[in-house]
Amino acid sequence: MKKITIIIPAYNEEESLPYLYKRLQKLMDDNKGYEFEILFVNDGSKDKTIELIKEYRKEDQRISYVDFSRNFGKEIAMMAGLDYATGDAVIFMDADLQDPPELIPELIKWWEEGYDDVYARRKSRKGETWLKKFTSKMYYKVLQSLTKVEIQRDTGDFRLLDKRCVNALRKMRETQRCSKSMFSWIGYKKKEVLYDRDPRIAGKTKWNYKRLVDLAIDGITSFTTSPLRISTYLCIPTFLVLFIYFIYVICKMILVTNKIDAYQAIILLILFFSGIQILLFGIIGEYLGRIFNETKNRPLYLVNEYNGIREENE
């Protein structure tokens, strides 16, 4: 029997978990042809999330969990899920039931037909603000314009990945993670499935705009070095202008006035160029920070316990 691991990152989800558990039980009962493993990654929740998961595991051995030593963020939680998954395929799902479990049989169906990466694309996004929809649309546009690898639109992390995609992703251990672009990067045979994204069942969203902007910047800079090229593009015209202006001032000085009267212009130029320099330093700093993080070579996460077994970190 083929085994399917459903990876669910959970951070302060005590309110959603009972609903989720019920829906998942139904899913597993309706699909007896597969062995399921439900792998929760408790991302340092401060509420009763882990206690609930442990209770579920007592009742049902198909439930597994990885308990982080603190909150590491959803991207890292997903990575841990990949590391601990034992299935022939994995499915990523949010704990708040925004990704309906009822779609899973369809994902599996396409996997059986030979697709490696079956991703669910949102038809609608209920319960999300106009601003969030707009910003996410713009983000996809920008990300796509920066890279040749095709990015899937309106696609979250809800997807099924074949074992070989899982193995590929396990090798990608960078610290600044943007799984969306990593799913695109690995390639393989992809299949799109449409669905309606539901509003969160209970609890509050963990995302605020600062986190989203951070994620967007991480996404772009971890995926492509094209922003570095801004410096080249900006430098060429500025040096051209500088050069022409320089010639003009020299010529005027020698041929006409015999003295420099471009005092104000020079001040303006200084401001202009220091502005550009600050911008470029910002970009360089952005990448330097990444190199710094990468070279520290730390583990991506620390596990407190896995299925009740204390992790000793040896």
Interface ranges with ligand UDP (CB under 6 A): 9-11, 13, 43, 71, 73-74, 77, 94-96, 98, 200, 205-207
Q: Which residues of 236-256 are buried (b: 16+ CB within 10 A; e: fewer)?
A: eeeeeeeeeeeeeeeeeeeee
Binding mask 201-220 for Mg ion (x = CB under 5 A): --------------------
For Mg ion, the binding residue among 96, 99, 117, 218 (CB under 5 A) is: 96
Structure tokens at 84: 């601990």
CB 42 within 8 A of CB 53: yes
162 touching Mg ion, by CB under 5 A: no
| Minimum distance of ligand UDP from residue 77's CB (angstroms) | 4
CA angle, 83 then 87 then 90, to 5°: 75
Pick what 11 binds: Mg ion, ligand UDP, none; C-beta below 5 to 8 Å, kind-dependent: ligand UDP
Q: Which residues contact 122 (CB under 8 A, 6 or more apart)?
A: 154, 155, 156, 194, 195, 196, 197
Residue closer to ligand UDP by CB (options 43, 162) is 43
Listed in sequence order, the DSSP H helices in 123-255 are: 130-145, 163-170, 179-186, 209-223, 226-252
CA 8 to chain centre: 15
Q: Which secondary structure element, helix H or strand E, spans residue 33, and what is its range?
A: none
Which CB, 74 or 190, lies closer to ligand UDP? Answer: 74
Min separation Cβ 122 and ligand UDP, Å: 11
Q: Out of Mg ion, ligand UDP, none, which partner does residue 121 contact, by CB within 5 to 8 A per kind? A: none
Residue 308 burial (CB count, 10 A): 11
Q: Which CB atom, from 88 or from 198, has the smaller least distance to ligand UDP?
A: 198
SS3 of residue 276 by DSSP: helix
Number of chain positions touching Mg ion (CB under 5 A): 4
**Complex with ligand UDP: residue 103 or 110, whichever CB lies closer:** 103
Rounded to the nearest whole angstrom, what is the least distance from the CB of residue 83 to ligand UDP in the complex? Answer: 15
Q: Which of 16, 45, 98, 152 binds Mg ion (CB under 5 A)?
A: 98
DSSP β-ladder status, 155-162 and 190-197: unpaired
Residues in contact with Mg ion by the rule CB under 5 A: 94, 96, 98, 200
